[in-house]
Amino acid sequence: MITTILFDLDGTLLPMDLDEFLRSYFHHIGSYFHDLIDTKEFMNYLGIATEAMMNHSGETTNETVFMDTFFNLIKGDPRLYLKRFDSFYANVFPKIQSSVGFSPVINDSVRLLKEKGYELVVATNPLFPRPAIEHRIAWAGFQPNDFIHITSYEYCHFSKPQKEYFLEILRNIQRKPEECLMVGNDVQDDLVAGDIDIKTFLITDHMIHRSEEDIPADYQGSYEDFHAFVENLPWL
């Protein structure tokens, strides 16, 4: 029986055009570091460190992989860069909200799930620090305490689309696959949860599909379709 709903964040709880969001993010973060390092060089190092997070095998946290990779590339004082990263996510990252949307329908779906007694998880790809994720949760109209677990790079050892990412969530929340439903908009990143027997719902409003392969979702539809699905779920 499903008792726990895992939600992707970008493009699911938070409507967005991912390319537009990333353009805004890279513009702002590149500009914020321009006095410390050449912008093109910084963006290259940022990409290399992010790719390292996505490809590592899980011995350390994503944050450790990112920082080790990034600071092996730069020539400046790591403490100065760490302070600048913290300042960026506290003071500049919120400006990126203008690049995303808001869905009253998904917001009401989450409210209804909470009323019905379901436990909720933010299962976003943990490539960002917790403050950046909490900002995006707020933009979607929620608070961190609406969720029993939130993935971020400080605590996670894997990334999507590794199935180990979802296994780590299950260990942390002490739930079995058959007790969970993964809701997301990315065919490759989110539906891999089905490989470990988690049921999946593909949100199609901002769907990302990088191939011509069949879509292996147990359920799929728009925000409105998901709301109808939630209305039909039993009360716990």
Give rounded-to-5 percent helix, strand, coil for the chain.
Answer: 55, 10, 35
Q: Is the pLDDT assigned to residue 150 strictly greater than 90?
A: yes
Q: Is the pLDDT assigned to residue 141 strictly greater than 90?
A: yes
pTM, two decimal places: 0.96
Write down the domain spans for the chain: 4-16+101-232, 19-97
Average pLDDT over residues 130-155: 98
Q: Is the pLDDT assigned to residue 33 strictly greater than 90?
A: yes
The answer regarding whether domain 4-16+101-232 maps to CATH 1.10.10.10 reads no
Residue 115 one-letter amino acid? E
pLDDT over 90, % of the chain? 96
Report residue 212's pLDDT band, with 50, 70 and 90 as the boundaries.
confident
